[in-house]
A and B are shown apart, each in its own frame.
Chain A
């Protein structure tokens, strides 16, 4: 019989999840170790908690089965190639699921960043941080500001000087 953990969101809603799903969060795992099965999460809203639980449920299911032959071959191939910036999820089906999962607007995505960081769910943190980074790539400063609500506190002269300085320092050779 799977052990159930009860999570309580910031707005008071209760969610019962299997232990192995909840334990994807290192924080929850630590709290439960202190013999407490009801875990209040005042900083996490229901909406976000539902999404996080969905992610953990999907990844717990995958982690409990060994990799299929095709995905382990892919993992072996990628490990013998050149350096990658982060360890990718090796199962292509799971990777596709993850890509769908992060198709959210910035606001929702940011909420998950905060929650995943707080709950210390390593794979989810990696996923959402990289997703945010992907949304910065290829953009000029003005568009980044607009997308991410960053206030421009430069004078026009300062901004121009900074732009010139940075582009000189990092011309791609």
Chain B
């Protein structure tokens, strides 16, 4: 019993199974496949097709257990290897994307994907109206959910109206039977498909075959083979009953009913236009790129706007506004570009100090008329901006070739945030983070 002499070489097979699983949970799928080929016992342990595989669950837990609850994504008979594939594919959605192309007027351009316990949720993010949340509040309205069906298929649903009390109400949690499963299905839910075109672009399109496929399957008469149909959780009982009806004997009669139902739902026309999204990489600054990221601040029009600062590969920094203003740029309008990335360090010349001191920080005014925040942070570094898009875009500003139009400053504060402004006026637009560590800040309730 005691391995005191180690004359007998210990084999991997001698480890207790939970230790083996723990070790193998560090491996990637292809490495697990290689290990599966070593012996019968390990082929069984590593098998991807097996339902309830403790190894594949451990692999999912190790990789995503911090972010979501892998176990609650699937029902009891599911293949965890399929779960791995789904999570691996959809994990890439997490973060910020911006909508490109046309879209409903007033639909926010910025979307944010985050992990839920048993799904991934996408929300439209927009500045909150009426200076809610101390002025810097944002609205986060969930509109897209991605999960797995009973049979391990990827399913996704969209809510065009976007107004829901909570994602939890909608999808609930498979493992939590005490959740508010009122059994009511939101009739506005549109089944959609999410297709990646490369890794920085995806399209959300209505999945009109969501119900049609089930009909085809029915003609073969095999219930168990339904591929796209089963709902992700028990809250969608109406859809579930629909398929139960469909597969009962009585052929035509049963099939006629769902067709009518589908017509009632869709009215025979497209409910919803496809939307395209492009990834916003780098939404947070790094020590080498302190200005990089998604920020929010009050523009000269006293409106909260979102700004995206990115470093390009020719050594410049671009600032663009993400949002409604500038529809002609598909919600992504340029504000300025600078090729200079060298900061001035303190102590600053008296000219620079005057330039800063004489400016007004634009910030929201709260109910009693006082400025809601004291924005005179300590300036740690200054960057000179030497060009502005406003000069070259006709009609966007009263440009006259005056060099002061193109010149401005970025004032970096000691807390890592910064403000910027142009010499043509006296304002400073102070910026704050939109999100930290995959959490959106200053979320305001959508009433």
Which A residues have a C-beta under 8 Å from some C-beta of B? 9-11, 42-48, 79-80, 83, 85-86, 106-108, 110-111, 113-114, 117, 125, 129-130, 132-134, 136-141, 144-145, 148-154, 159, 162-163, 166-167, 169-170, 172
The 9 closest A-B pairs by CB, nearest first: A133-B26, A141-B37, A149-B11, A166-B33, A148-B12, A45-B4, A10-B2, A110-B10, A170-B29
Contact B26 A139 (CB under 8 A): no
Residues on B with C-beta less than 8 A from A136 are 23-24, 27, 31, 34-35
> In the complex, which of the residues A9, A129, A141, A150 contacts B13, with contact meaning CB atoms closer than 8 Å?
A150
Closest Cβ of chain B to A64, distance in Å, is 26
Contact A129 B23 (CB under 8 A): yes
CB-defined A-B contacts under 8 Å, sample of 27: A11-B4, A42-B1, A43-B2, A45-B5, A45-B6, A47-B6, A80-B437, A83-B63, A83-B64, A83-B66, A106-B9, A111-B3, A111-B6, A132-B23, A133-B24, A136-B24, A136-B27, A136-B34, A137-B31, A148-B12, A149-B12, A149-B13, A153-B40, A162-B43, A169-B48, A170-B32, A170-B33
In the complex, which residue of chain A has the Cβ closest to the Cβ of B47?
A166
Q: Is the interface of A mostly helix, strand, loop or mixed?
A: helix
In the complex, which residue of chain A has the Cβ closest to the Cβ of B13?
A150
- The listed residue with most B CB atoms (<10 A of its CB), out of A46, A108, A154, is A154
* Given A80-B284, A170-B48, A86 and B37 contact (CB-CB distance below 8 Å): no
Closest Cβ of chain B to A116, distance in Å, is 10
Which B residues have a C-beta under 8 Å from some C-beta of A? 1-6, 9-16, 19, 22-40, 42-43, 48-49, 62-64, 66-67, 81, 91, 284, 436-437
A154 to B38 alpha-carbon distance, docked (Å): 8
* Given A85-B26, A169-B48, A138 and B31 contact (CB-CB distance below 8 Å): yes
In the complex, which residue of chain B has the Cβ closest to the Cβ of A137?
B31
- Other CB < 8 Å A-B pairs besides A83-B91, A151-B39, A169-B48, 17 of them? A9-B4, A10-B2, A11-B2, A43-B2, A83-B64, A110-B10, A125-B22, A133-B23, A133-B26, A134-B26, A141-B35, A141-B38, A144-B34, A145-B38, A148-B38, A152-B39, A170-B32
A83 to B59 alpha-carbon distance, docked (Å): 13
Contact B9 A86 (CB under 8 A): no
Contact B19 A117 (CB under 8 A): yes
Closest Cβ of chain A to B81, distance in Å, is 8
A169 to B37 alpha-carbon distance, docked (Å): 13
Residues on B with C-beta less than 8 A from A163 are 37
Contact B40 A169 (CB under 8 A): no
Residues on A with C-beta less than 8 A from B16 are 117
Contact B30 A172 (CB under 8 A): yes
A80 to B287 alpha-carbon distance, docked (Å): 13
A141 to B27 alpha-carbon distance, docked (Å): 14
* Given A111-B3, A114-B3, A170-B29, A144 and B15 contact (CB-CB distance below 8 Å): no
In the complex, which residue of chain A has the Cβ closest to the Cβ of B29?
A170
- The listed residue with most A CB atoms (<10 A of its CB), out of B10, B32, B35, B37, is B37
Residues on A with C-beta less than 8 A from B26 are 85-86, 129-130, 133-134
